[in-house]
Structure 1
Amino acid sequence: MNTKMKVLSLALIGLCGFAGSAMAACPAGPTTAQGGAWTSAIQLPDATSSPLAIVAGGLDGSACKLTSALAPTTSASAAVRYTHAASEPSYRFQFLVDPSAFSAFNATDSVVIFQAPATTAANGFNRLLRVSLVAGPAGAKRVRFIAQCGSAGFLCAQSFATDLLPGVNRIEGKLTVGAGAAGSFTYWVNAAAGTTEPAASGTIANLNNAAWGGVSAASLGLAAPTQTFADTHGNQIAGFDAFDSRRQTYIGH
């Protein structure tokens, strides 16, 4: 059964991209107080230097998209968050990202674009997963997944070895929380259209991540830039759209 979580279907509606729906006008902003559907917005050091907005012209035929840009400092953040009441040990998510406004990446450029906070802090970490934009060859951009795990250092990471497209990219992930080999993360990057689960782009196995309990929130936008990213890409805008999540079954498109 394909069970959607309230956190993500609501978040989608806030971005005017759920089930082909469209609003007469974009909400004033992403939070519920602004007419959107996210619990909160995180803008550091302030809303002016790290702007975050819902604007007309979605990435997948929807009415609106979320845009995010960072101040030129490593402490900057411009992201939305939805806090979920339940602890989800089985968590699937999907979103669109367009990083084409970023100039060419160098070897140490990196910025987080999605995070799955954990129900329980463990081993010094309070999240289960991060998704980051990182450098590929010749200035290209790639995506890197960093999952909490029971191995030394408590971080298990894998970069997808194919450059992102020059425009819109679709990222989907499946995170399973469990002891030993029961914990795993599987991802798809720019999978072909369809709702039948295709071969995965990659998997991080044997996470042994039960100590973190489950996913309790979702955060989408730009955060935690490296110094070189902050120096080179401060004020450059990324677009996000079509955020969705479910407990079971492939999302697709």
Structure 2
Amino acid sequence: MIANVKIKALSAAVLGLASMYAGSAFAQCAASFVQPTGAWSGSQVIGGGAFSINAPGLGGTGCKVNFRYNAGAGALASAIARDDSPTAEGRYRSRFKINASAITGLSGLQKTQLFTANSNTAFPAAGGSLQVLRISLIPGGANGTVSVVAATNDPANGYVSLPFTAPLAAGENTIETEVVIGGAGTGKVNVWVNNATAGTPTGTINVNNSGWVGIDTALLGLADSTPPFRTTQAGRDIAFDEFDSRRSTFIGP
């Protein structure tokens, strides 16, 4: 694996979350994820999920993508963008900007998934799941809290939660992750939430995740929500922009 190589740097400003170069922008926002020339592998909307791409973007870009659940969204509802550019990455960094300020009354059992880093290799310890890392939005603070879980080879646990609380701020937030695939003592997940200091992550999970081999896919958007979230937050957008992924170097805000 070549150190410091970008896997993907994307902005919603170009071709609807499909720029090959971070920070670039076109005058117009695309209506959809462009394939096959776009940087994303595609988008998926199921059972009442929806997305839109509009101006202005986050972090000074031209456009952002908004994901939402429509009224009446079903149990399997999702609206996601998919990136298949990683290839069994033993070390994988990702960063995206998010604005969840439209979400109000987040309480109780409300939860939705925001991002996953997946392997092509399912491992029985997590019930056959491909997810190596999962980031969700849960209640906590005025604007919700980031919840992070990491896959583990330990069949008694399946997933381990990140032992920290990271409330989102009003407006734009930056979430960065690092996944290192390895056995006990070498595998880990680091997370930075509105934190520009590479050497001091907001939280770390030390975990044996060797069973998943490496990261092959990233999913960004909304999925795996609870019924109270879909009902209460129907029609309310969560905005994403400036997704970037690399093998080693810290990305930062």
State the TM-score, normalizing by the size of structure 2: 0.89
Shift of 1:85: 5.8
SS of 1:230's partner is helix
| Structure 1 CA distance for aligned equivalents of residues 218 and 161 of structure 2 | 19
Shift of 1:150: 1.8
Shift of 1:198: 3.9
State the TM-score, normalizing by the size of structure 1: 0.89
- Once the two structures are superposed, residues 76-112 of structure 1 have per-residue CA deviations (whole angstroms, 9 ceiling, x without a partner) of 1001001136210100000001111111211211100
Q: Cα–Cα, structure 1 residues 111 and 131, in superposed 2: closer, same or farther, change >3 Å?
A: same
Q: Gaps spanning 5+ residues in structure 2: where? A: none
- Once the two structures are superposed, residues 2-33 of structure 1 have per-residue CA deviations (whole angstroms, 9 ceiling, x without a partner) of 2101xx22566542594321113222212325
Preserved CA contact (<8 Å) 1:141 1:163: yes
Correspondence for 1:103: 104
Correspondence for 1:55: 54
Of residues 173, 195, 198, the one that matches 1:169 is 173
* More helix as a share of residues: 1
Verify: 1:200 aligned to 2:178, yes or no.
no
Shift of 1:159: 5.6
| Structure 2 CA distance for aligned equivalents of residues 77 and 3 of structure 1 | 31
Shift of 1:54: 2.0
Correspondence for 1:24: 27
SS of 1:96's partner is strand
Of residues 184, 189, 192, the one that matches 1:188 is 192
Preserved CA contact (<8 Å) 1:17 1:64: no
| Structure 2 CA distance for aligned equivalents of residues 175 and 9 of structure 1 | 17
Q: Gaps spanning 5+ residues in structure 1: where? A: none
Preserved CA contact (<8 Å) 1:191 1:198: no
Shift of 1:36: 4.0
| Structure 1 CA distance for aligned equivalents of residues 192 and 236 of structure 2 | 26
More off after superposition, 23-32 vs 171-180: 23-32
| Structure 1 CA distance for aligned equivalents of residues 69 and 109 of structure 2 | 17
| Structure 1 CA distance for aligned equivalents of residues 139 and 25 of structure 2 | 35
SS of 1:229's partner is helix
| Structure 1 CA distance for aligned equivalents of residues 234 and 79 of structure 2 | 12
Shift of 1:44: 0.8
Q: Cα–Cα, structure 1 residues 58 and 17, in superposed 2: closer, same or farther, change >3 Å?
A: farther
Tell me how large the CA RMSD over aligned residues is: 2.0
Aligned residues: 242
Q: Cα–Cα, structure 1 residues 74 and 160, in superposed 2: closer, same or farther, change >3 Å?
A: farther
Preserved CA contact (<8 Å) 1:28 1:36: no
Verify: 1:221 aligned to 2:225, yes or no.
no
Preserved CA contact (<8 Å) 1:109 1:228: yes
| Structure 1 CA distance for aligned equivalents of residues 176 and 10 of structure 2 | 18
Give the share of equivalent positions with the same residue, in percent. Answer: 34
